Structure 1
Amino acid sequence: MKKYLLLVILGGIIFSLIGCSSPTAGSSTESDVNLESVNEFLNNSGDLGPGSIANKVSIIPFQHIDGPKNESDFYAFVNFEYKARDYIKYQVTYLSCTCRSAAENYWQTAYVELSLPNTNNPDDVVIKYLSYDQDPSEHYLGGFWGDSSPTPAGVTYDIFKDQYIDYFQGKESSYIQTLSTMWDIETSDYTLGEGRSDLTIDTFTGSSVSANNIIRIINSLLDYHSQNEFFHE
């Protein structure tokens, strides 16, 4: 009888402990964790974000593509965001080249300025500036090129900068959204503009990881940019 009572008591204690550890109304569960809640935590749990001495930060989804065109769901980090009168300045850090060893799997940072169009239409957003080194003032390094220079195909960062990165400046979001990889760029578009008539997109065929993920990260940042309250006033 004593053994029976002891088992009943132990069972009651175990049951009560299990009950105490179960999620209750209003408690956080795994299903509650999403990018919105993570970004809210980052900007409210520490001294970051509005009302602080540090700018807002965010994590955004980013669909990476490698050389064989395998796609992976990655995340990128918007580690700087500043709203000016008619545009927003961003730094966004992401992993591009994954063909190197883990010891050299460096991330890179793009400095981007995206317009706030008078139409309040996200499709009309213009890429005012794109850089992986200096900002427009040429006084600060807003970006960082973390991919190989030269690439295994012999393409240096300077070639990327002068021929490829420069191509995207002044382009509208509606056009960028039609691009998924560099092969979506029409030759007639790529060679349009002063000093571009002799350029060819094929220069970057053997360096497609860097080229394609520039397009992918711009699209990810444009999606994030379109969520700004400016477009929902």
Structure 2
Amino acid sequence: MPPLAQEDPQAPPERRRTALVVGGSQGIGRAAAAQLAKEGWTVWTAARRPDPLPAGTAALCVDVRDGDSVRELRGRVGAGTDGLDLLVVTAGGAAVLGRMADITPDDVAEMLAQHVVGAYRVVRAFHDLLAARRGQVVLMLSRMGRAPRMHGHAYGTAKAALEHLAGCLALDLAAAGVRVNCVSPGAVDTAMFRTALPDRDPRTALPADDVGRLIVRLTDPEFGSLNGAVLDLPGDPASRSGPAGPPPYGG
């Protein structure tokens, strides 16, 4: 990766850090937003459904598939802050899993629209606010996207494409001092996990709070030079049973 732009020696004193979590109403995004608020951050959350939010967060609506919706979100956040220290994108809706006989081209297109094009749309809209604070982007991958699996035609393909996109963004934004990193978990106990894999015991999955805390940990100064990295978080042993085995799901 290219070196990050150097720190401005005339930077103002430390301020309260600000984060935007897109996909912050449920699952991993909600867990990350709650941990950020607990640690004293100013936290904006955005999602399609304004579900009850963690204490200390401000809620906005967005559909990452809709350019106008993302532009409206950018305007509202930009009116309330001069910069972002952290942008977390976990939005993507429920995973579409299945074999080719069950997965249509429209299913694949929808997963790409949500997970890849949607993430790109959000990062592109907020890159200037991130550059103003030398901030970081954290994108949510899945171990299903790291190796082919027979159930991964739509969701796994989208997550694999998102990993490639993240690497491109890390290269592109480094000159502005913006870092882009990814977290790639195995099975995570979220509502979407339980819906997608109803036969899996949720006790074998990673707690969403653990993944949320890891996302926040990436903002620690000790990781200040990390850029273009993918942090793998294996789930239970069953999720590593090979290409034909049970599909892991990092939602």
TM-score (norm 1): 0.26
TM-score (norm 2): 0.25
Query: Higher relative contact order at CA 8 Å, sep ≥6: structure 1 or structure 2?
Result: 2
Bigger Rg, structure 1 or 2: 1
